[in-house]
Amino acid sequence: MPDKALILTSVAGRCVVYPLLGGSLGSWSVEGQDMLHAASADDVAAHDPLRISSFPLVPYSNRIGNARFDWASNWVQLAPNFAPEPHAIHGVGWKRAWEVISQAAGEITLGYRHLADANWPWAFTAEQTMSLTETALTLTLRTRNDHGAPVPLAFGHHPYFDAAGAYLKFSAQGVWMSGADALPTEIAVPTGDFDFLSGAAVDGRAVDHCYTGWAGSTRINWAGRRYALELTASPTLPAAVIYIPKGGDAFCFEPVPHINNALNLPGHEPAMPVIAPGAWFEAKILMRAVTA
């Protein structure tokens, strides 16, 4: 069943994993406090990873404009997967079942093997390990190019956090402004509602943008909660996508390997990684509960 849950536990921590529901996380809590936005029973029953706590972004993150791009002097056309938008979004791993490779009380490794199809034309193997300690959750992400030539290939994650009472703090050098089609148009210095350098309330903002020159660490505080969250990511995740729907009960801070629509924006950094045959792209995300 797509909603079958596997539970990771420590003395103070608990994490729910749904391998068959896009290899997603359903919740993570420390001493009963939700550190990710917890999926409800109805969210799980909907079999929609967009309603789950966090899901994998492989082999790319965010949008590929109009689901097409030029690769090696040939146009690659993907199947749009986010109606009514004409774009391809978030890769393929979030919509596929993952298998359990190994499992222990506080750690699980999931695997997904992709064969070329209309959603992505090159084979790859992906693995994600969720490791739970008393106050931390680590996501270790790996994906291997199984195609016979170098191809674009990457791996990020898409965590949701509670929006109520949340304050977000991180530094970045630039933010990509977007057009009506949700695709990036130009890069700017983060100001106003896009500036979180000194920490700012999430409530009342509407943001769906990619940040570059991210320092690799982020802090989220919640009013009235014992624990804040510190998120750090490996240098292979040098960009971050922030999604704050106005009036929503959750928001996203997504460590990602490249800018939105990177395959259609040559010359802009961070670019989409290109991985040699048989080689791996690897990344890591650490989330820690710290005293607020």
Question: What residue segments make up the domains of the chain, in order of their start?
Answer: 6-291
pLDDT digits (tens, 9 = 90+) for 210-226: 999 999 999 999 999 99
Average pLDDT value for residue range 242-268? 96
pTM of the model: 0.96
Write down the mean pLDDT value for the chain. Answer: 96
For residue 1, pLDDT beyond 80: no
DSSP 80: P
In sequence order, which ranges of the chain are alpha helices (DSSP H)?
A: 41-45
The tens digit of pLDDT for each residue in 182-219 reads 999 999 999 999 999 999 999 999 999 999 999 999 99
Region of residue 148 (phi > 0: left; psi between -120 and 50: alpha; otherwise: beta): alpha
The CATH number for 6-291, chosen from 3.40.50.2300, 2.70.98.10, 3.10.620.30, 3.30.1280.10, is 2.70.98.10
| Mean pLDDT for the stretch of residues 79-88 | 95
- 48, exposed or middle or buried, with CB in 10 Å at 0-12, 13-18, 19+? middle
Structure-token match 């899901």, residue found: 55
State the pLDDT confidence band at 105, using cuts at 50, 70 and 90.
confident
In angstroms, the CA 260 to CA 32 distance is 35
pLDDT value at residue 2 = 54
